[in-house]
Amino acid sequence: MEDYRHSGLGIASFILSLVAALCLFALFGVAGYLEISTPGGVSEESPLAVGIGLLLFLFLGLAFVALCLGIAGLVEKRRRRILAGLGTLFSAFALISAIAVMLIGLTMGK
**Mind listing the pLDDT tens digit for each residue in 31-78?**
999 989 989 888 889 999 999 999 999 999 999 999 999 999 999 999
Q: What is the pLDDT of residue 61?
A: 98
Q: What is the pLDDT of residue 110?
A: 57
CB count, 10 Å around CB of 40?
Answer: 5
Q: What is the pLDDT of residue 41?
A: 85
What is the chain's mean pLDDT, rounded?
94
Q: What is the pLDDT of residue 40?
A: 86
Signed CA dihedral, 22, 86, 66, 94: sign only: negative
> Do residues 9 and 83 lie in contact, with contact meaning Cβ atoms separated by under 8 Å?
no
pTM, two decimals, is 0.90
3-state secondary structure of 6: strand
Kindly indicate the confidence band of residue 104, based on its pLDDT and cuts at 50, 70 and 90. Answer: very high
Kindly indicate the confidence band of residue 1, based on its pLDDT and cuts at 50, 70 and 90. Answer: low
